[in-house]
Amino acid sequence: PADLVLTVDTTQRYQKVKGFGGSVTDAAAMNILSLPETAQDHLLRSYFSEEGLEYNLVRLPMASCDFSLHAYTYDDVPFDYELTHFSLRDEDTKLKASALAMSKQPLSLYASPWTSPTWMKTSESFVGKGTLKGQAGDKYHKTWANYFVRFLDEYAKYNLTFWAVTAENEPSAGLINNYPFQCLGFTAEQQRDFIAQDLGPALANSSHRHIQLIILDDNRLHLPHWAKVVLEDEKAARYIHGIGIHWYLDFIGPIQDTVVPTHELFPDYFILATEACIGAHFWERDVILGCWDRGNQYSHSILTNLNHFVAGWTDWNLALDLEGGPNWVKNYVDSPVIVDTSEGIFYKQPMFYHLGHFSKFIPEGSQRVGLVASKESKKVDLEYTAFLRPDGAVVVVVLNR
């Protein structure tokens, strides 16, 4: 209605933005590289170039996850504590590194491990309930910390340097009986001790000492408890820069009860949305081509996060096939880009365009500012946010669901 006025107030300043992007899983890289060269180039430009969405954040699994053809790590030779057999796989060198090499824009890359080698785990398996053997400070934990450093070393040989690592993808998953795909369990206390005694020092004493370390990387339901346990410990906190959150259980962990108190307790640590996709819940269809509502769900999540101190938002797979894979445990989901390998073409879905309303207009370094609606707005279900960009422009994004 004509009587709705949104007023920007640049005197109110909130969080600064890190950026927006998606994940280069084995599956995403395989789908992208299955296309004819012109289509590959078109797909990558659609995401990363100035004509495209201008993504600047890319998350990479450290070795395999469910969106791989099989389970593997970089050192599956038992009891190789020196990591002498550590090596990247074809999935890294031929798929992920090739896909990333095609992006001309500078990217902030961050990596997350799903599982350690099985010989380091209580379960001796890639899947199911299991943690690292022993306890923080011992040879298993030291070796696992050094594995991160080796990963960064090896990728550096392909001219790929990382902005950050997360301490573990979904550490709570490995505490669940019969968990169906790669995981490694940590309680908040175990993550705190592993960072304080092993991972923090290993990174600090490496040539990657400037890398940012992100904790949690799991559903926000664990906040603020997880942050309190880890960040109230000075020995761990000094190595940590941010907190990662996944969106899967948002409906039972309201942002006001989880993210907001975390930001209030620990304002110096950024909060970043590190994974989201639709189709992961058993009641959801995997791929629905052209589904507008799924675009709305993305925008709603991004707006809610941005309006509550979150610094950026990372989608899950950059591209999947028509089935929502490949995925070795058939955990198929949807993606903003769907590749039809048999035809050599790809589809950009509504989710793709919804993400672009943020990634293209809110560059890294933008700062959220106040935005006040006149009272009449009660009539319409609008969601909105405002940012002051580094170039001095103000951008307002409005969603009318």
The residue that leads in pLDDT, 34 or 106, is 34
Which residue type, as a one-letter code, is found at position 265?
L
Per DSSP, what are the bridge partners of residue 388? 367, 394
pLDDT score at 378: 59
181-207 per-position pLDDT tens digit? 999 999 999 999 999 999 999 999 999
274-287 per-position pLDDT tens digit? 999 999 999 999 99
Indicate the pLDDT class of residue 374, thresholds 50, 70 and 90.
confident
Q: Which residues are catalytic?
A: 170, 275
State both tokens at 47. Answer: 């995401």
Q: Is pTM, for the whole model, over 0.95?
A: yes
215-256 per-position pLDDT tens digit? 999 999 999 999 999 999 999 999 999 999 999 999 999 999
Task: Please determine, for residue 300, whether its predicted confidence score (pLDDT) is greater than 80.
Answer: yes
> pLDDT averaged over the chain?
96
Mean pLDDT of 295-309: 98
User: 3-class SS at 109?
Assistant: strand
Task: Please determine, for residue 140, whether its predicted confidence score (pLDDT) is greater than 90.
Answer: yes
Listing DSSP states for 118-159 in one string gives GGGBTTSSSSSS-BBSS-TTSHHHHHHHHHHHHHHHHHHTTT
Residue among 183, 179, 210, 213 at smallest CA distance from 196: 213
Do residues 384 and 376 make contact, with C-beta atoms less than 8 angstroms apart?
no
Residues 6+ apart with CB under 8 A from 19: 55, 56, 57, 108, 312, 359, 363, 364
